[in-house]
Amino acid sequence: MSGAERYDLCVVGAGSAGLSVAAGAAQLGLRTVLVEAGRMGGDCLNTGCVPSKALLAAAKLMHAHRHPHLGGVPPHEFETRRGAVNAHVQATIAALAPHDSVARFEGLGVRVVRGRASFIGTDSLTVAGETIRARDIVLAVGSRPAMPEIPGLDPREVLTNESLFDVETVPEHLVVIGGGPIGIEMAQAHRRLGAGVTVLQRGTILPRDEPELVDGVRQDLRAEGIEIIEEAEILSVRHAAGRHEVEIAGSEGPRVIVGSHILVATGRRPNLEGLDLSRAGVDVNAAGIVVDTGLRTSNRHVHAIGDCTGGPRFTHVAGYHAGIVIRRLAFRLPAKVDYAALPWVTYADPELAHVGLTLAEAKARHGDRARSLIKPLSGLDRAVAEGRTDGMLKLVALPNGRILGCSILAPAAGEMIGLWCLAITQKMTLRDLTSLVLPYPTLSEISKQAAGEWYRPTLFGARTRRLVKILRKLPNW
């Protein structure tokens, strides 16, 4: 051990979280080593956010040609070429890959070691026969798709996000098991590419989001021809050549759904195998590596970030975690996680974005003081001009205007939610938003309109009208 290479920081995992930590640490002068056994960029670049959004973009454009939103624009029919779509997906990955490459990180001063890491002590690991010691270690090993326990389900016969983008033809009938964001996004994308699609969900789809907005998503998907079966219990799966039978029990009784492909999108589990965490004194539970609010594990020399901690599994959370760890390790600041303004987006069309508390969560915390307001998209001139009036904004706040949460169902809702992230982070009130000057005509105007609507009963009430009458009697100034 005495001859082992010694570093200030060892980062295990070259996905979004690990890359951000390694880049920041090296540029701050810390002697940094980055360990990765798979592809640089991790799940987000290679099998997650990037390819899925590229596929969604292609499917959205095709749908817009076939089903234009404006009455004066004729539809345009054409044959979907899955090979061309896949080429676009791979080109997108290739365009972004240099940012996550070994060459870039070595240029930043990071030593990149390829291989699987395994702890051999509280501050040391072995990788490809080499021993690495570090004052601090950051585990950013990510997660992978979790397989549900369904009789007859063979993981080798189904698709996950890791294999979906390698399919060379449009599925004849894609059965999606799981109605969370990934399942909903890929269901709509494949329907727009020409596949028949059935979504099976044990409860209701998108269970973490506001029910009124989820109902809008549900209606849009069904209008496009996607079958959504909620409260479904999957009894068994049978695989055959080019055919998969899924037996379910639902509100209408037993039923067998036959698909050409099955996509499993039922959650993820952390990549902890082979790390020998017990040798480092790092505690784990069913969700992943146990960390405190500062992302430190039970070993004070080891932090864990991103998916492997069992917290919110979003790329932007991985980046957020990375910033916290850099502040703690490089600057010795007591940074801690705070998810009060954590946003998420389901990139369907229209998009469903959320930040803060839902109304149910707010009522559980604040009782009947928590109130909500829904503003339809149909009241916006820009939405009318573009023929995209299906959607809404739902805000949750206290009577004094303190903002607790916001959800938006609209085209580009993921872009629009940023204002509400800032508002919650900076503890702004709805009154602050009423004073904004926003460009006209834009969809973002709905945020200011909703804030103004919140105060309408007070502003235009009898008490205010009496005040105006009194003020009108005063001389001009």
**Beta carbons of 266 and 250 less than 8 angstroms apart:** no
Q: Is 90 exposed, middle or buried (0-12, 13-18, 19+ CB in 10 A)?
A: middle
The answer on whether 185 is annotated among ligand-binding residues is yes
Answer positive or negative: Cα dihedral of 401, 406, 412, 416: positive
The answer on whether 267 is annotated among ligand-binding residues is yes
In sequence order, what are the beta bridge partners of 227? 198
Rounded Cα gap, residues 84 and 240, in angstroms: 28
Q: Give the gyration radius of the chain's Cα atoms.
A: 25
The answer on whether 184 is annotated among ligand-binding residues is yes
In sequence order, what are the beta bridge partners of 397? 371, 403
Neighbours of 304 (CB within 10 A): 32
Cis geometry, peptide bond prior to residue 441 (ω within 30 degrees of 0):
yes
User: Tokens standing for 283?
Assistant: 């505690």
The answer on whether 452 is annotated among ligand-binding residues is no
The answer on whether 179 is annotated among ligand-binding residues is yes
The answer on whether 225 is annotated among ligand-binding residues is no
Rounded Cα gap, residues 13 and 272, in angstroms: 11
In this structure, the strands spanning 5-12 and 32-36 are parallel
**Beta carbons of 206 and 346 less than 8 angstroms apart:** yes
Rounded Cα gap, residues 191 and 225, in angstroms: 8
The answer on whether 182 is annotated among ligand-binding residues is yes
**Would you list which residues are annotated within the binding site?**
53, 178-185, 267, 307
**Would you list which residues are annotated within the binding site for FAD?**
53, 307
**Would you list which residues are annotated within the binding site for NAD(+)?**
178-185, 267
